[in-house]
Amino acid sequence: MEYVRTDLLIDVNTLSERLNDDNLRIFDTSVFLTQQHGGGYLVESGREKYQTAHIPGAGFIDLIKHWSNASSILNFTLPDEQRLGEVISEAGIGNSNEVILYSSGNLMWATRAWWLLHYAGHDNVKIVNGSFNAWREAGLTTEGGDKRYPESPFEIATKHAVIADIEEIERGLNGEICTINALDQSIYEGSGSFYYTRRGHIPGSKPMSYSSLLCEQYFLPADDLEAHLNAQDALSSDRVITYCGGGIAATIDAFACKLMGQNNVAVYDGSMSEWVLDDSRPLTIGTEP
């Protein structure tokens, strides 16, 4: 069995043969998080590691400073449309460029950047399956330093339906929308030491940890991925919304849905970080949705 959308992934050997393609725009998207007891993360840019070693010719996308809303009280939320179009252009991405994304840490940073470009209307973007680990393990050449592509005009064509807001989440509390929690099971249940100010999950949401869909930064084989998604009705539902702590890990689940042919899928951008700000918003503790 193959992925339904094979065009969304690229393997490292194929990429290595295409490095001289002038239409390619390759980017390291790395961010590193250290979980803090009781909630929150220490956030560190992956730029330093990128400067030490990256895929030859790759630029760096700064998801902390540039590809997020710097004025928001929440980390990594979506920039406004004008700003997003500007940073895409500044990165050297034009509408006709083929974009290749990877991370030297967790793959979720590459899928987050993919989702932002998807929201902006860019339809030719691929994830390196296995990410930078796969590149190294294949013994392929790396380089250091900084690479910048020349700025390129980008015309944004926003796909609003791929981002869910809190109002849509509230409308879906009755279970009419398939809502997926991408966090680890203990966070979903509210039983672990880490939680987002308040314990539990959004009522009606089903657990599907992003890590269960990956193996060493590769997406699971198509039949296994399909089984995981079907177990939570993610492929049969009319609409799917994924969420996590801050809209990053949720893009793994959303991207997996895309890989297996579920087109009506959105990421709740504010995720738990926003949901818990109002004590009147309910949370469910335990294994049941």
| Per-residue pLDDT at 58 | 98
Q: How far apart are CA 106 and CA 133, in angstroms?
A: 10
Question: pLDDT per residue over 214-264, tens digit each?
Answer: 999 999 999 999 999 999 999 999 999 999 999 999 999 999 999 999 999
Domain match, 92 and 58 both? yes
Together in a domain, 124 and 251: no
173 pLDDT tier (thresholds 50, 70, 90): confident
Report d(CA 207, CA 242) in Å as an integer: 10
Q: Return d(Cα 44, Cα 34) in angstroms, integer.
A: 8
Q: Considering its fold, how many domains does the chain have in total?
A: 2
pLDDT tens per residue across span 186-228: 999 999 888 888 999 999 999 999 999 999 999 999 999 999 9
Contacts of 185 (CB under 8 A, 6+ apart): 207, 209
Residue 240 sits in a domain whose CATH number is 3.40.250.10
Structure confidence at residue 288 as a pLDDT band (50, 70, 90)? very high
Check whether residue 194 and residue 124 sit in a common domain.
Answer: no
In angstroms, the CA 53 to CA 104 distance is: 9
Write out the two tokens for 115: 């989702």
The per-residue pLDDT for 32 is: 94
- 41 and 108 belong to one structural domain: yes
What pLDDT band is residue 40 in, cutting at 50, 70 and 90? low
Q: What is the extent of the structural domain holding 201?
A: 161-275
Give, as one character, the DSSP assignment of residue 150: P
The answer to whether residue 280 is domain-embedded is no
* HEC secondary structure over 32-95: EEEECCCCCEEEEECHHHHHHCECCCCEECCCCCCCCCCCCCCCCCCCCHHHHHHHHHHCCCCC
Q: Is 227 part of any domain?
A: yes
Which tens digit of pLDDT belongs to each residue from 85-123? 999 999 999 999 999 999 999 999 999 999 999 999 999
**End-to-end alpha carbon distance in the chain:** 30
Residues 76 and 108 in one domain: yes
126 and 150 assigned to the same domain: yes
Is pLDDT at 38 greater than 80 in this prediction?
no
Of 159, 188, 223, which marks where a domain is finished? 159
